[in-house]
Amino acid sequence: MVDENGRLLAVALVAIGLALTFGYSLFVNGTILLWTWFVVPIIFLYLCWRFVRAHERIADALEGEA
C-alpha cells in the first residue's frame, strides 16, 4: 500500500505536468483545444482510479464489521 506522502507526490507531479502542458498549449501553440484532448482522458482515468479505491475501502470496512 502506498503511503500518504507517495500519493501526494504523485498527484503533485501530475498537476505540475498538466500545468506545464497547459502553458505550452496556450502560449506556444495559441490554442487550448489540443490540450483538452490530452487532459480529459487523464482526469477521467484518475477519477476512475479514485472510484475503485473508494469501493475497496468500503468493502474493507464492511469486512471488518462482520
Q: Which residue has the higher pLDDT, 42 or 5?
A: 42
Mean pLDDT of 25-29: 77
DSSP string computed for the chain: ---HHHHHHHHHHHHHHHHHHHHIIIIII--SHHHHHHHHHHHHHHHHHHHHHHHHHHHHHHHHH-
The tens digit of pLDDT for each residue in 28-64 reads 777 776 777 777 888 898 889 889 989 999 999 998 8
| Residue in this structure with the C-alpha cell 487523464, named with its chain if needed | 42
- The residue range of the domain holding 31 is 4-65
Query: How many structural domains is the chain composed of?
Result: 1
Tell me the pTM: 0.54
